[in-house]
Amino acid sequence: MIKLPPYLKKGDTIGIVCPAGFMTLEKAATCIETLQTWGYKIKLGKTLGSQFHYFSGTDEERASDLQEMLDDKTVHAILCGRGGYGVSRIIDRLDFKSFKKNPKWVIGFSDITVLHAALYQQVKFASIHSSMASAFNDNGFENEYVQSIRKTIKGQLANYSCAPHAFNQLGKSSGELIGGNLSLIVHMIGTKTVYETKNKLLFIEDVGEYIYHIDRMFLQLKRAGFLDGLAGLIIGGFTDMKDTTVEFGMTVYETLKEHLKEYQYPICFGFPVSHDTANYALKVGVRHKLVVTKNKSVMKELL
């Protein structure tokens, strides 16, 4: 049974850490100011503004910083400053014993998918897949996607819809919502953090990949039985895709459609979860209902 951390109230503290890639403190300034205007206190981790090559610190420093936030009873949520790469290098170093006694919402996406999966599969707690600190910049804090973070941490139930897509498979179903970045989901196959997918609603998105990489990753998912028995599939944005000199011959969505034609569950293409601006906050591990009709697709959080 998946448990929910307590929702936030004004005066609670949000910790900000960078468990993967490097981020300057300046790029998080608007995020910090906005969270404060929302009524929250902020605690900055040592990794925000720190750098070790590509990362925000050594593996030891990043693991220690995240562990401190997980253990801190005065911190009520943890917002990851950015993703990039590096969580899988430290995930097995983390100890969730104190977290289980004093759980909190962990917020982020992209490389943070590894942390979401660990919390879901091993710790049995829900978390929040959403935009991170840089999304607040350039007036991003005003858009509905960043605002969805505010609503989600306060406990508002998600009720999102998107336009129909020609590739959709109509139908309705419900299940616990799991997912994240496709590359990281594939990366976790064969590890103890791999998602168990039977009767689940799976959402995926990715960025900066060659189209044939997406084709190869979906073949791996299929051969591993990962797509068998899903309750439904939500396909988000695949941004900044690349093609080879000799073109692959299909778009990303065309490639996915070819792989998915054998499955009978509802499939929604073009859902607003991505590395682009359109990236709604989603509660990983919480039951949702997916309804795909010819007029629109709706994903609603269930009580």
Same-domain check for residues 90 and 33: yes
Same-domain check for residues 228 and 106: no
Mean pLDDT across 148-169: 98
Q: Note the pLDDT tens digit of each residue in 37-55.
A: 999 999 999 999 999 999 9
Q: Note the pLDDT tens digit of each residue in 93-131.
A: 999 999 999 999 999 999 999 999 999 999 999 999 999
Q: Which helix (H) or strand (E) holds 113?
A: helix 113-118
Same-domain check for residues 99 and 203: no
Q: Is residue 134, in this structure, part of any structural domain at all?
A: yes
Measure the CA–CA gap between 290 and 67, rounded to whole angstroms: 35
Same-domain check for residues 203 and 220: yes
Same-domain check for residues 221 and 251: yes
Measure the CA–CA gap between 48 and 19, rounded to whole angstroms: 9
Same-domain check for residues 42 and 112: yes
Q: Is residue 111, in this structure, part of any structural domain at all?
A: yes
Tell which of 154, 181, 200 closes a domain.
154
Nearest-10 Cα torsion for 297, 130, 225, 231: -30
- Provide the residue type at 285 as one letter: G
Mean pLDDT across 58-85: 98
Tell which of 104, 130, 154 closes a domain.
154
* Confidence at residue 303, expressed as pLDDT on a 0 to 100 scale: 82
Q: Is residue 32, in this structure, part of any structural domain at all?
A: yes
Same-domain check for residues 144 and 187: no
Same-domain check for residues 83 and 147: yes
Measure the CA–CA gap between 16 and 46, rounded to whole angstroms: 9
Same-domain check for residues 32 and 136: yes
Mean pLDDT across 161-178: 98
Say if residue 1 is exposed, middle or buried (CB neighbours under 10 Å; 0-12, 13-18, 19+): exposed
Same-domain check for residues 174 and 261: yes
Active site residues: 110, 205, 275
Q: Note the pLDDT tens digit of each residue in 238-292.
A: 999 999 999 999 999 999 999 999 999 999 999 999 999 999 999 999 999 999 9
Same-domain check for residues 148 and 167: no
What CATH number should be reported for the domain holding residue 23? Answer: 3.40.50.10740
Mean pLDDT across 141-159: 98
Of the candidates 176, 182, 169, 172, which has an alpha carbon nearest to the alpha carbon of residue 273? 182
Q: What's the domain count of the chain? A: 2
Residue 184 in this model has a pLDDT that exceeds 90: yes
- Count of C-beta atoms within a 10 Å radius of residue 140: 17
The greatest distance separating any two alpha carbons of the chain, rounded to the nearest whole angstrom, comes to 56
Q: Is residue 4, in this structure, part of any structural domain at all?
A: no
* Confidence at residue 201, expressed as pLDDT on a 0 to 100 scale: 98
Residue 283's DSSP bridge partners are 128
Residue found by looking up tokens 């000799």 in the block: 246
Q: Is residue 7, in this structure, part of any structural domain at all?
A: no
Structure tokens at 42: 């902020």
Q: What percentage of the chain has pLDDT greater than the value 90?
A: 99
Structure tokens at 221: 């998912």
Q: Is residue 22, in this structure, part of any structural domain at all?
A: yes
Q: What percentage of the chain has pLDDT greater than the value 70?
A: 100
Domain with 144, as residue range(s), is 13-154
Q: Is residue 204, in this structure, part of any structural domain at all?
A: yes
Same-domain check for residues 113 and 193: no
Helix (H, G, I), strand (E, B) or coil at 29: helix
Q: Is residue 6, in this structure, part of any structural domain at all?
A: no
- Count of C-beta atoms within a 10 Å radius of residue 50: 19
What CATH number should be reported for the domain holding residue 199? Answer: 3.50.30.60
Tell which of 154, 187, 205 closes a domain.
154
